[in-house]
Structure 1
Protein backbone atom coordinates (compact mmCIF):
# COMPACT_ATOMS: atom_id res chain seq x y z
CA UNK A 1 0.00 0.00 0.00
CA UNK A 2 1.16 3.55 -0.71
CA UNK A 3 0.58 6.13 2.03
CA UNK A 4 1.25 9.85 2.39
CA UNK A 5 1.20 11.83 5.62
CA UNK A 6 1.15 15.64 5.30
CA UNK A 7 2.43 17.80 8.17
CA UNK A 8 0.51 20.55 9.99
CA UNK A 9 -1.39 22.71 7.48
CA UNK A 10 -1.18 26.36 8.53
CA UNK A 11 -3.61 29.02 7.37
CA UNK A 12 -4.60 30.04 3.87
CA UNK A 13 -1.12 29.43 2.45
CA UNK A 14 -1.12 25.83 3.69
CA UNK A 15 -4.63 25.23 2.38
CA UNK A 16 -3.57 26.52 -1.03
CA UNK A 17 -0.69 24.04 -1.04
CA UNK A 18 -3.11 21.20 -0.30
CA UNK A 19 -5.37 22.25 -3.18
CA UNK A 20 -2.41 22.66 -5.56
CA UNK A 21 -0.34 19.56 -4.81
CA UNK A 22 -2.50 16.78 -3.36
CA UNK A 23 -4.39 15.83 -6.55
CA UNK A 24 -1.14 15.50 -8.51
CA UNK A 25 0.61 13.64 -5.69
CA UNK A 26 -2.25 11.19 -5.44
CA UNK A 27 -2.04 10.50 -9.17
CA UNK A 28 1.74 10.41 -9.67
CA UNK A 29 2.58 8.49 -6.49
CA UNK A 30 -0.39 6.16 -7.02
CA UNK A 31 -1.40 6.79 -3.41
CA UNK A 32 -3.92 4.58 -1.66
CA UNK A 33 -4.43 6.75 1.42
CA UNK A 34 -3.57 10.34 2.46
CA UNK A 35 -3.61 11.80 5.97
CA UNK A 36 -3.07 15.50 6.75
CA UNK A 37 -2.79 17.19 10.11
CA UNK A 38 -5.22 20.12 9.94
CA UNK A 39 -5.22 21.59 13.44
CA UNK A 40 -3.83 24.95 12.27
CA UNK A 41 -5.79 25.21 9.04
CA UNK A 42 -8.30 27.91 10.08
CA UNK A 43 -6.36 31.13 10.56
CA UNK A 44 -3.60 29.17 12.27
CA UNK A 45 -5.87 27.83 15.03
CA UNK A 46 -8.23 24.89 14.63
CA UNK A 47 -10.33 23.74 11.70
CA UNK A 48 -13.82 24.41 10.34
CA UNK A 49 -16.20 22.03 8.62
CA UNK A 50 -15.85 23.96 5.36
CA UNK A 51 -12.06 23.60 5.42
CA UNK A 52 -12.33 19.90 6.24
CA UNK A 53 -14.55 19.44 3.19
CA UNK A 54 -12.01 21.33 1.05
CA UNK A 55 -9.30 18.89 2.16
CA UNK A 56 -11.49 15.91 1.33
CA UNK A 57 -12.32 17.41 -2.05
CA UNK A 58 -8.60 17.73 -2.83
CA UNK A 59 -8.04 14.04 -2.11
CA UNK A 60 -7.18 13.87 1.59
CA UNK A 61 -8.78 10.80 3.23
CA UNK A 62 -8.31 11.62 6.92
CA UNK A 63 -7.57 14.80 8.91
CA UNK A 64 -5.83 14.56 12.28
CA UNK A 65 -5.80 17.33 14.88
CA UNK A 66 -3.96 18.15 18.12
CA UNK A 67 -3.93 20.69 20.93
CA UNK A 68 -5.85 23.20 18.77
CA UNK A 69 -8.61 20.70 17.94
CA UNK A 70 -11.41 22.84 19.34
CA UNK A 71 -10.08 26.38 18.90
CA UNK A 72 -12.84 26.84 16.32
CA UNK A 73 -15.90 26.20 18.47
CA UNK A 74 -17.91 24.72 15.61
CA UNK A 75 -15.56 21.73 15.77
CA UNK A 76 -17.24 20.70 19.02
CA UNK A 77 -20.36 20.03 16.95
CA UNK A 78 -19.33 18.94 13.46
CA UNK A 79 -16.63 16.53 14.62
CA UNK A 80 -19.36 14.20 15.92
CA UNK A 81 -20.61 13.63 12.39
CA UNK A 82 -17.17 13.65 10.74
CA UNK A 83 -15.36 10.30 11.04
CA UNK A 84 -12.73 11.63 8.62
CA UNK A 85 -11.62 14.17 11.31
CA UNK A 86 -9.77 12.77 14.35
CA UNK A 87 -8.87 14.61 17.57
CA UNK A 88 -6.29 13.00 19.90
CA UNK A 89 -7.71 9.82 21.40
CA UNK A 90 -6.27 10.50 24.86
CA UNK A 91 -8.62 13.43 25.47
CA UNK A 92 -10.80 12.69 28.52
CA UNK A 93 -13.84 10.45 28.16
CA UNK A 94 -16.83 12.42 26.91
CA UNK A 95 -14.83 14.76 24.65
CA UNK A 96 -16.67 15.16 21.31
CA UNK A 97 -15.37 13.19 18.35
CA UNK A 98 -13.09 10.20 18.08
CA UNK A 99 -9.36 9.60 18.13
CA UNK A 100 -9.11 6.52 15.92
CA UNK A 101 -11.03 5.14 12.97
CA UNK A 102 -10.79 2.24 10.54
CA UNK A 103 -11.09 3.40 6.93
CA UNK A 104 -11.50 1.48 3.70
CA UNK A 105 -9.60 2.46 0.57
CA UNK A 106 -10.94 2.37 -2.98
CA UNK A 107 -9.23 -1.02 -3.33
CA UNK A 108 -10.98 -2.39 -0.24
CA UNK A 109 -7.91 -2.27 2.02
CA UNK A 110 -8.39 -1.31 5.68
CA UNK A 111 -6.38 1.56 7.18
CA UNK A 112 -6.38 2.32 10.90
CA UNK A 113 -5.53 5.94 11.75
CA UNK A 114 -4.82 7.01 15.33
CA UNK A 115 -4.23 10.50 16.70
CA UNK A 116 -2.56 10.89 20.08
CA UNK A 117 -1.17 13.89 21.98
CA UNK A 118 1.95 13.96 24.12
CA UNK A 119 2.07 15.24 27.69
CA UNK A 120 5.60 16.66 27.99
CA UNK A 121 5.40 20.50 27.89
CA UNK A 122 1.74 20.20 26.83
CA UNK A 123 -1.70 19.91 28.43
CA UNK A 124 -1.93 16.98 30.83
CA UNK A 125 -4.22 14.54 29.04
CA UNK A 126 -4.74 10.83 29.65
CA UNK A 127 -1.81 8.44 29.14
CA UNK A 128 -1.07 8.33 25.37
CA UNK A 129 0.82 5.03 25.62
CA UNK A 130 -2.13 3.29 27.28
CA UNK A 131 -4.47 4.73 24.63
CA UNK A 132 -2.31 3.39 21.78
CA UNK A 133 -1.94 0.00 23.46
CA UNK A 134 -5.70 -0.32 23.84
CA UNK A 135 -6.40 0.63 20.21
CA UNK A 136 -3.76 -1.68 18.77
CA UNK A 137 -5.12 -4.50 20.90
CA UNK A 138 -8.57 -3.93 19.43
CA UNK A 139 -7.35 -3.53 15.84
CA UNK A 140 -4.03 -5.33 15.30
CA UNK A 141 -2.03 -4.77 12.14
CA UNK A 142 -2.26 -7.68 9.73
CA UNK A 143 -5.43 -9.04 11.29
CA UNK A 144 -8.02 -6.28 11.62
CA UNK A 145 -6.26 -3.73 9.38
CA UNK A 146 -3.89 -3.77 6.41
CA UNK A 147 -2.06 -0.58 7.42
CA UNK A 148 -1.92 1.55 10.57
CA UNK A 149 -0.88 5.20 10.89
CA UNK A 150 -0.12 6.91 14.22
CA UNK A 151 0.06 10.73 14.43
CA UNK A 152 2.09 11.62 17.55
CA UNK A 153 1.25 15.27 18.24
CA UNK A 154 3.88 16.24 20.79
CA UNK A 155 6.39 18.91 21.76
CA UNK A 156 9.25 16.71 23.00
CA UNK A 157 11.22 14.70 20.46
CA UNK A 158 12.04 12.19 23.21
CA UNK A 159 8.35 11.46 23.76
CA UNK A 160 7.77 11.03 20.02
CA UNK A 161 10.72 8.65 19.73
CA UNK A 162 9.59 6.66 22.76
CA UNK A 163 6.09 6.30 21.29
CA UNK A 164 7.52 5.22 17.95
CA UNK A 165 9.65 2.48 19.49
CA UNK A 166 6.70 1.47 21.70
CA UNK A 167 4.62 0.89 18.57
CA UNK A 168 7.44 -0.41 16.31
CA UNK A 169 6.31 -3.47 14.40
CA UNK A 170 2.68 -2.77 15.23
CA UNK A 171 2.01 0.23 12.97
CA UNK A 172 3.02 1.02 9.40
CA UNK A 173 3.91 4.64 10.21
CA UNK A 174 4.53 6.55 13.43
CA UNK A 175 4.87 10.23 12.56
CA UNK A 176 5.47 13.27 14.73
CA UNK A 177 3.61 16.55 14.34
CA UNK A 178 3.24 19.87 16.22
CA UNK A 179 6.67 21.54 16.06
CA UNK A 180 6.27 22.61 12.40
CA UNK A 181 9.91 21.90 11.45
CA UNK A 182 10.73 18.84 9.28
CA UNK A 183 13.36 16.60 10.87
CA UNK A 184 16.01 14.70 8.91
CA UNK A 185 15.55 11.34 10.65
CA UNK A 186 13.03 9.56 8.42
CA UNK A 187 13.78 5.86 8.51
CA UNK A 188 12.37 2.39 9.07
CA UNK A 189 12.72 1.25 12.68
CA UNK A 190 14.12 -2.22 13.53
CA UNK A 191 10.72 -3.96 13.55
CA UNK A 192 9.38 -2.37 10.38
CA UNK A 193 7.63 0.87 11.34
CA UNK A 194 8.37 3.97 9.25
CA UNK A 195 9.19 6.98 11.43
CA UNK A 196 10.02 10.69 11.37
CA UNK A 197 10.20 12.84 14.50
CA UNK A 198 8.34 15.69 12.82
CA UNK A 199 6.73 15.77 9.39
CA UNK A 200 7.13 19.53 9.23
CA UNK A 201 4.63 22.21 8.33
CA UNK A 202 2.60 22.79 5.21
CA UNK A 203 2.75 26.56 5.18
CA UNK A 204 4.93 29.60 4.53
CA UNK A 205 8.41 29.00 5.97
CA UNK A 206 9.31 32.70 5.76
CA UNK A 207 7.70 32.95 9.18
CA UNK A 208 7.94 31.88 12.80
CA UNK A 209 6.44 28.36 12.64
CA UNK A 210 3.86 29.59 10.15
CA UNK A 211 3.02 32.96 11.71
CA UNK A 212 3.94 36.42 10.46
CA UNK A 213 7.36 37.17 11.94
CA UNK A 214 6.79 40.61 13.46
CA UNK A 215 4.52 39.73 16.38
CA UNK A 216 6.45 36.65 17.59
CA UNK A 217 9.70 38.63 17.43
CA UNK A 218 8.09 41.54 19.29
CA UNK A 219 6.85 39.23 22.05
CA UNK A 220 10.26 37.60 22.45
CA UNK A 221 12.06 40.95 22.62
CA UNK A 222 9.50 43.02 24.58
CA UNK A 223 7.81 40.33 26.71
CA UNK A 224 4.52 42.21 26.62
CA UNK A 225 1.09 41.39 25.15
CA UNK A 226 0.39 42.62 21.66
CA UNK A 227 -1.54 41.83 18.52
CA UNK A 228 -2.85 38.35 17.80
CA UNK A 229 -0.72 36.01 15.72
CA UNK A 230 -1.59 35.95 12.02
CA UNK A 231 -0.56 33.18 9.63
CA UNK A 232 2.12 34.08 7.10
CA UNK A 233 0.62 34.18 3.63
CA UNK A 234 3.54 33.73 1.27
CA UNK A 235 4.25 30.71 -0.96
CA UNK A 236 3.85 27.52 1.08
CA UNK A 237 5.90 24.34 1.16
CA UNK A 238 3.94 21.11 1.43
CA UNK A 239 5.90 18.84 3.78
CA UNK A 240 5.16 15.19 4.38
CA UNK A 241 6.34 11.61 4.35
CA UNK A 242 5.69 8.91 1.75
CA UNK A 243 5.56 5.28 2.91
CA UNK A 244 5.17 2.09 0.91
CA UNK A 245 4.19 -1.03 2.83
CA UNK A 246 4.54 -4.72 2.13
CA UNK A 247 1.96 -7.48 2.40
CA UNK A 248 2.45 -7.56 6.18
CA UNK A 249 1.53 -3.87 6.51
CA UNK A 250 5.02 -2.85 7.60
CA UNK A 251 7.15 -0.29 5.79
CA UNK A 252 9.52 -1.28 3.02
CA UNK A 253 10.18 2.21 1.63
CA UNK A 254 10.07 5.70 3.14
CA UNK A 255 10.89 9.09 1.61
CA UNK A 256 10.28 12.77 2.44
CA UNK A 257 8.03 14.91 0.27
CA UNK A 258 8.58 18.68 0.02
CA UNK A 259 6.96 20.72 -2.73
CA UNK A 260 6.71 24.45 -3.39
CA UNK A 261 7.67 27.42 -1.25
CA UNK A 262 11.13 28.11 0.11
CA UNK A 263 12.45 24.73 1.27
CA UNK A 264 14.51 22.34 -0.83
CA UNK A 265 12.26 20.16 -2.93
CA UNK A 266 12.09 16.40 -2.40
CA UNK A 267 10.13 13.52 -3.88
CA UNK A 268 10.59 9.73 -3.69
CA UNK A 269 13.38 8.29 -5.81
CA UNK A 270 12.28 7.61 -9.35
CA UNK A 271 9.92 10.59 -9.51
CA UNK A 272 10.73 13.80 -11.31
CA UNK A 273 10.07 17.39 -10.32
CA UNK A 274 7.91 19.32 -10.87
CA UNK A 275 4.86 17.32 -9.82
CA UNK A 276 1.93 18.16 -12.09
Structure 2
Protein backbone atom coordinates (compact mmCIF):
# COMPACT_ATOMS: atom_id res chain seq x y z
CA UNK A 1 0.00 0.00 0.00
CA UNK A 2 1.13 3.51 -0.85
CA UNK A 3 0.15 6.34 1.44
CA UNK A 4 -1.81 9.40 0.35
CA UNK A 5 -0.72 9.90 -3.27
CA UNK A 6 -0.86 13.66 -3.72
CA UNK A 7 -1.42 15.50 -6.98
CA UNK A 8 0.51 15.30 -10.22
CA UNK A 9 3.85 14.98 -8.43
CA UNK A 10 2.68 12.02 -6.36
CA UNK A 11 1.09 10.34 -9.36
CA UNK A 12 4.29 10.72 -11.37
CA UNK A 13 6.47 8.89 -8.87
CA UNK A 14 3.80 6.25 -8.13
CA UNK A 15 3.29 5.44 -11.82
CA UNK A 16 7.03 4.98 -12.25
CA UNK A 17 7.73 2.86 -9.19
CA UNK A 18 4.59 0.68 -8.83
CA UNK A 19 5.44 -1.41 -11.94
CA UNK A 20 9.02 -1.82 -10.65
CA UNK A 21 7.75 -3.08 -7.31
CA UNK A 22 5.22 -5.47 -8.78
CA UNK A 23 7.78 -7.06 -11.07
CA UNK A 24 10.89 -7.13 -8.87
CA UNK A 25 9.14 -8.10 -5.61
CA UNK A 26 6.44 -10.36 -7.07
CA UNK A 27 3.63 -8.35 -5.46
CA UNK A 28 0.12 -9.74 -5.86
CA UNK A 29 -1.98 -6.77 -4.82
CA UNK A 30 -1.36 -3.00 -4.67
CA UNK A 31 -3.59 -0.49 -2.90
CA UNK A 32 -3.19 3.26 -2.66
CA UNK A 33 -4.96 5.90 -0.63
CA UNK A 34 -6.39 7.99 -3.46
CA UNK A 35 -8.26 10.83 -1.77
CA UNK A 36 -5.60 13.40 -2.76
CA UNK A 37 -4.90 12.28 -6.32
CA UNK A 38 -6.55 15.24 -8.09
CA UNK A 39 -4.59 18.33 -7.10
CA UNK A 40 -4.72 17.22 -3.47
CA UNK A 41 -8.51 17.04 -3.36
CA UNK A 42 -10.43 13.96 -4.49
CA UNK A 43 -10.22 11.75 -7.55
CA UNK A 44 -11.36 12.09 -11.18
CA UNK A 45 -12.25 9.42 -13.75
CA UNK A 46 -9.23 10.33 -15.87
CA UNK A 47 -6.85 9.97 -12.94
CA UNK A 48 -8.52 6.73 -11.84
CA UNK A 49 -7.85 5.25 -15.31
CA UNK A 50 -4.30 6.60 -15.27
CA UNK A 51 -3.48 4.92 -11.96
CA UNK A 52 -5.15 1.64 -12.91
CA UNK A 53 -2.83 1.41 -15.91
CA UNK A 54 0.15 1.71 -13.56
CA UNK A 55 -0.93 -1.41 -11.66
CA UNK A 56 -3.13 -0.18 -8.81
CA UNK A 57 -5.61 -2.88 -7.78
CA UNK A 58 -7.71 -0.91 -5.26
CA UNK A 59 -8.16 2.64 -4.02
CA UNK A 60 -9.05 3.58 -0.45
CA UNK A 61 -10.26 7.07 0.40
CA UNK A 62 -10.60 9.56 3.26
CA UNK A 63 -12.06 12.91 4.19
CA UNK A 64 -11.58 14.34 0.67
CA UNK A 65 -13.50 11.46 -0.92
CA UNK A 66 -16.23 13.66 -2.45
CA UNK A 67 -14.19 16.72 -3.44
CA UNK A 68 -14.61 15.74 -7.10
CA UNK A 69 -18.05 14.71 -8.36
CA UNK A 70 -16.51 11.98 -10.54
CA UNK A 71 -16.28 9.78 -7.46
CA UNK A 72 -19.96 8.82 -7.80
CA UNK A 73 -19.51 7.73 -11.43
CA UNK A 74 -16.36 5.77 -10.59
CA UNK A 75 -18.24 3.99 -7.79
CA UNK A 76 -21.03 3.03 -10.16
CA UNK A 77 -18.69 1.67 -12.82
CA UNK A 78 -15.97 0.06 -10.71
CA UNK A 79 -15.85 -2.01 -7.55
CA UNK A 80 -12.26 -1.20 -6.62
CA UNK A 81 -12.88 2.29 -5.23
CA UNK A 82 -13.41 1.75 -1.50
CA UNK A 83 -15.14 4.44 0.54
CA UNK A 84 -14.92 4.51 4.34
CA UNK A 85 -17.50 2.19 5.85
CA UNK A 86 -18.43 4.71 8.56
CA UNK A 87 -19.56 7.60 6.34
CA UNK A 88 -22.89 9.15 7.27
CA UNK A 89 -25.82 8.96 4.87
CA UNK A 90 -24.04 7.10 2.06
CA UNK A 91 -25.64 3.82 1.02
CA UNK A 92 -23.62 0.82 -0.03
CA UNK A 93 -20.44 1.66 1.88
CA UNK A 94 -21.13 -0.31 5.04
CA UNK A 95 -19.57 -3.56 3.82
CA UNK A 96 -15.89 -4.30 3.29
CA UNK A 97 -15.53 -5.11 -0.42
CA UNK A 98 -13.87 -8.31 -1.58
CA UNK A 99 -11.13 -8.68 -4.19
CA UNK A 100 -10.40 -12.13 -5.56
CA UNK A 101 -6.91 -13.44 -6.35
CA UNK A 102 -7.65 -16.59 -8.37
CA UNK A 103 -3.97 -17.52 -8.80
CA UNK A 104 -3.60 -17.60 -5.01
CA UNK A 105 -7.09 -18.94 -4.27
CA UNK A 106 -7.52 -16.03 -1.85
CA UNK A 107 -9.94 -13.15 -1.29
CA UNK A 108 -8.87 -9.81 0.13
CA UNK A 109 -11.36 -7.84 2.24
CA UNK A 110 -10.60 -4.12 2.60
CA UNK A 111 -11.71 -2.13 5.62
CA UNK A 112 -11.48 1.66 5.22
CA UNK A 113 -12.53 3.75 8.22
CA UNK A 114 -12.44 7.42 9.17
CA UNK A 115 -11.23 8.45 12.59
CA UNK A 116 -13.31 10.91 14.61
CA UNK A 117 -10.72 13.06 16.38
CA UNK A 118 -9.99 16.50 14.82
CA UNK A 119 -12.04 15.88 11.69
CA UNK A 120 -14.18 18.71 10.31
CA UNK A 121 -17.07 16.36 9.62
CA UNK A 122 -18.68 13.88 11.95
CA UNK A 123 -18.47 10.22 11.03
CA UNK A 124 -20.02 7.19 12.62
CA UNK A 125 -17.89 5.79 15.40
CA UNK A 126 -15.40 3.48 13.64
CA UNK A 127 -15.31 1.19 16.67
CA UNK A 128 -19.04 0.51 16.25
CA UNK A 129 -18.34 -0.94 12.79
CA UNK A 130 -15.39 -2.96 14.10
CA UNK A 131 -17.39 -4.31 17.03
CA UNK A 132 -20.39 -5.21 14.88
CA UNK A 133 -18.29 -6.98 12.25
CA UNK A 134 -15.65 -8.61 14.45
CA UNK A 135 -17.06 -12.14 14.51
CA UNK A 136 -17.78 -11.89 10.79
CA UNK A 137 -14.13 -11.13 10.00
CA UNK A 138 -12.85 -13.76 12.43
CA UNK A 139 -14.88 -16.40 10.58
CA UNK A 140 -13.64 -15.07 7.23
CA UNK A 141 -9.99 -15.40 8.24
CA UNK A 142 -10.50 -18.81 9.82
CA UNK A 143 -12.26 -20.05 6.69
CA UNK A 144 -8.83 -20.24 5.08
CA UNK A 145 -9.50 -18.14 2.01
CA UNK A 146 -9.86 -14.53 3.26
CA UNK A 147 -7.22 -11.94 4.06
CA UNK A 148 -8.43 -8.76 5.80
CA UNK A 149 -6.52 -5.47 5.58
CA UNK A 150 -7.46 -2.01 6.84
CA UNK A 151 -6.69 1.59 5.92
CA UNK A 152 -7.54 3.76 8.93
CA UNK A 153 -7.69 7.39 7.83
CA UNK A 154 -7.30 9.29 11.08
CA UNK A 155 -5.53 12.23 12.70
CA UNK A 156 -4.96 10.63 16.09
CA UNK A 157 -2.25 8.01 16.47
CA UNK A 158 -4.18 6.64 19.44
CA UNK A 159 -7.25 5.80 17.33
CA UNK A 160 -5.17 3.90 14.78
CA UNK A 161 -3.18 2.01 17.38
CA UNK A 162 -6.29 1.13 19.39
CA UNK A 163 -7.97 -0.30 16.27
CA UNK A 164 -4.88 -2.36 15.49
CA UNK A 165 -4.95 -3.96 18.94
CA UNK A 166 -8.72 -4.48 18.82
CA UNK A 167 -8.33 -6.47 15.57
CA UNK A 168 -4.99 -8.04 16.46
CA UNK A 169 -4.85 -11.52 14.96
CA UNK A 170 -7.74 -10.74 12.60
CA UNK A 171 -6.16 -8.19 10.29
CA UNK A 172 -3.20 -9.15 8.18
CA UNK A 173 -2.35 -5.45 8.20
CA UNK A 174 -3.59 -2.15 9.57
CA UNK A 175 -2.10 0.84 7.76
CA UNK A 176 -2.69 4.36 9.03
CA UNK A 177 -3.13 7.28 6.65
CA UNK A 178 -4.14 10.98 6.63
CA UNK A 179 -1.36 12.94 8.36
CA UNK A 180 0.96 12.88 5.30
CA UNK A 181 3.81 12.35 7.78
CA UNK A 182 5.40 8.87 7.86
CA UNK A 183 6.02 7.18 11.18
CA UNK A 184 8.78 4.64 11.81
CA UNK A 185 6.93 2.30 14.17
CA UNK A 186 6.27 -0.57 11.79
CA UNK A 187 5.77 -3.81 13.67
CA UNK A 188 4.44 -7.33 13.44
CA UNK A 189 2.46 -8.51 16.46
CA UNK A 190 2.81 -12.00 17.91
CA UNK A 191 -0.64 -12.73 16.49
CA UNK A 192 0.35 -11.84 12.93
CA UNK A 193 -1.01 -8.32 12.38
CA UNK A 194 1.33 -5.94 10.58
CA UNK A 195 0.90 -2.34 11.71
CA UNK A 196 2.14 1.16 10.87
CA UNK A 197 0.66 4.26 12.54
CA UNK A 198 0.98 6.36 9.38
CA UNK A 199 2.42 5.28 6.07
CA UNK A 200 3.02 8.90 5.03
CA UNK A 201 2.51 10.75 1.77
CA UNK A 202 3.65 9.88 -1.72
CA UNK A 203 4.36 13.29 -3.18
CA UNK A 204 6.40 16.49 -2.69
CA UNK A 205 8.10 16.92 0.70
CA UNK A 206 9.49 20.39 -0.04
CA UNK A 207 6.13 21.52 1.25
CA UNK A 208 3.73 21.62 4.18
CA UNK A 209 2.01 18.20 3.95
CA UNK A 210 2.24 18.44 0.15
CA UNK A 211 1.17 22.03 -0.35
CA UNK A 212 3.20 25.08 -1.41
CA UNK A 213 4.96 26.10 1.81
CA UNK A 214 5.00 29.83 1.07
CA UNK A 215 1.23 29.91 0.71
CA UNK A 216 0.67 27.84 3.83
CA UNK A 217 3.05 29.99 5.88
CA UNK A 218 1.25 33.12 4.72
CA UNK A 219 -2.09 31.71 5.91
CA UNK A 220 -0.64 30.78 9.31
CA UNK A 221 1.08 34.11 9.85
CA UNK A 222 -1.77 36.23 8.50
CA UNK A 223 -5.06 34.28 8.69
CA UNK A 224 -6.98 37.12 7.05
CA UNK A 225 -5.17 36.47 3.76
CA UNK A 226 -7.16 33.97 1.71
CA UNK A 227 -4.92 32.01 -0.63
CA UNK A 228 -5.96 28.85 -2.46
CA UNK A 229 -3.88 25.76 -1.81
CA UNK A 230 -1.33 24.85 -4.45
CA UNK A 231 0.37 21.44 -4.67
CA UNK A 232 4.16 21.64 -4.33
CA UNK A 233 6.44 19.96 -6.87
CA UNK A 234 9.90 19.27 -5.44
CA UNK A 235 11.67 16.68 -3.27
CA UNK A 236 9.50 13.71 -4.22
CA UNK A 237 9.17 10.78 -1.83
CA UNK A 238 7.30 7.54 -2.24
CA UNK A 239 6.04 6.06 1.05
CA UNK A 240 4.52 2.62 1.36
CA UNK A 241 4.07 -0.52 3.43
CA UNK A 242 4.88 -3.99 2.11
CA UNK A 243 3.24 -6.96 3.82
CA UNK A 244 4.01 -10.66 3.38
CA UNK A 245 1.00 -12.83 4.18
CA UNK A 246 1.03 -16.51 5.10
CA UNK A 247 -1.17 -18.63 2.81
CA UNK A 248 -1.79 -20.96 5.75
CA UNK A 249 -2.98 -18.45 8.38
CA UNK A 250 -3.99 -15.43 6.21
CA UNK A 251 -2.01 -13.30 8.67
CA UNK A 252 1.35 -11.64 8.19
CA UNK A 253 4.79 -13.18 8.28
CA UNK A 254 6.72 -9.93 7.80
CA UNK A 255 6.25 -6.25 7.05
CA UNK A 256 8.49 -3.59 5.58
CA UNK A 257 8.25 0.20 5.58
CA UNK A 258 9.16 1.61 2.19
CA UNK A 259 10.58 5.09 1.66
CA UNK A 260 12.06 6.30 -1.59
CA UNK A 261 13.32 9.77 -0.70
CA UNK A 262 14.41 12.64 -2.90
CA UNK A 263 13.45 10.90 -6.11
CA UNK A 264 13.92 12.77 -9.38
CA UNK A 265 13.37 11.80 -13.00
CA UNK A 266 16.98 10.61 -13.35
CA UNK A 267 16.86 8.44 -10.24
CA UNK A 268 13.71 6.34 -10.02
CA UNK A 269 15.38 3.45 -8.23
CA UNK A 270 13.90 1.88 -5.10
CA UNK A 271 16.11 3.37 -2.42
CA UNK A 272 14.94 2.10 0.96
CA UNK A 273 13.00 -0.91 2.18
CA UNK A 274 13.24 -1.13 5.98
- TM-score with structure 2 setting the length: 0.90
Change (3 A) 1:158 1:51: same
Q: Alpha-carbon deviation of 1:73?
A: 1.6
Q: Which runs of 5+ in 2 are unaligned?
A: 265-269
2:177 alignment partner in structure 1: 177
Q: Distance in 2 between matches of 1:157 and 1:12?
A: 28
CA RMSD between the two structures:
2.0
What is the DSSP-based 3-state SS (H/G/I as helix, E as strand, rest coil) of the residue aligned with 2:158?
A: helix
Alignment of 1:206 onto 2:212: no
Shift of 1:135: 3.9
CA pair 99-220 structure 1, distance change in 2 beyond 3 A = farther
The residue matched to 1:121 in structure 2 has which SS? coil
Distance 1:52 1:202 in 2: 16
**Segment of structure 1 superposing worse, 194-203 or 238-247:** 238-247
- Match for residue 128 of structure 1? 126
Superposition misfits of 4+ residues, deviation over 4 angstroms = 95-99
Q: Pick 1 or 2: higher relative contact order, CA cutoff 8 A, min separation 6.
A: 1
* Gap regions ≥5 residues in structure 1: 269-276
Provide the C-alpha distance between the structure 1 equivalents of 2:26 and 2:5, rounded to a whole number of angstroms: 22
Structure 1 residue 96: deviation in Å? 6.4
In structure 1, the residue matched to 2:272 is 266
Matches within 5 A, 1:25-174: 25-95=21-91, 100-107=96-103, 108-122=105-119, 123-139=121-137, 140-143=140-143, 145-174=145-174
Shift of 1:262: 6.0
Q: TM-score, normalised by structure 1?
A: 0.90
For 1:228-247, list aligned pairs within 5 A: 228-246=228-246, 247=248
Q: Deviations over 1:161-208 (max 9, x none)?
A: 111111111110001000001101000123220000000000011100
The size of the alignment, in residue pairs, is 264
Contact 2:5 2:33 in 1 (8 A): yes
Report how far residue 56 of structure 1 moved.
1.4
Asked if the contact 2:97–2:109 (Cα under 8 Å) also holds between the matched residues in 1, the reply is yes
State the shift of 1:235 in Å. Answer: 4.4
* SS of residue matched to 1:100: coil
Following the alignment from structure 2 to structure 1, what is the Cα–Cα distance between the partners of residues 207 and 254?
32
Q: Which moved more, 1:99-108 or 1:34-43?
A: 99-108
What is the CA deviation profile of residues 198-256 of structure 1, one whole-angstrom value per residue up to 9, with x for unaligned ones? 00000011100001111111111112232211111224211001110112011111111
Q: Give distance in 1, aligned partners of 2:114 and 2:95.
A: 10
The answer to whether the Cα contact below 8 Å between 1:206 and 1:262 also exists between their aligned partners in 2 is: no
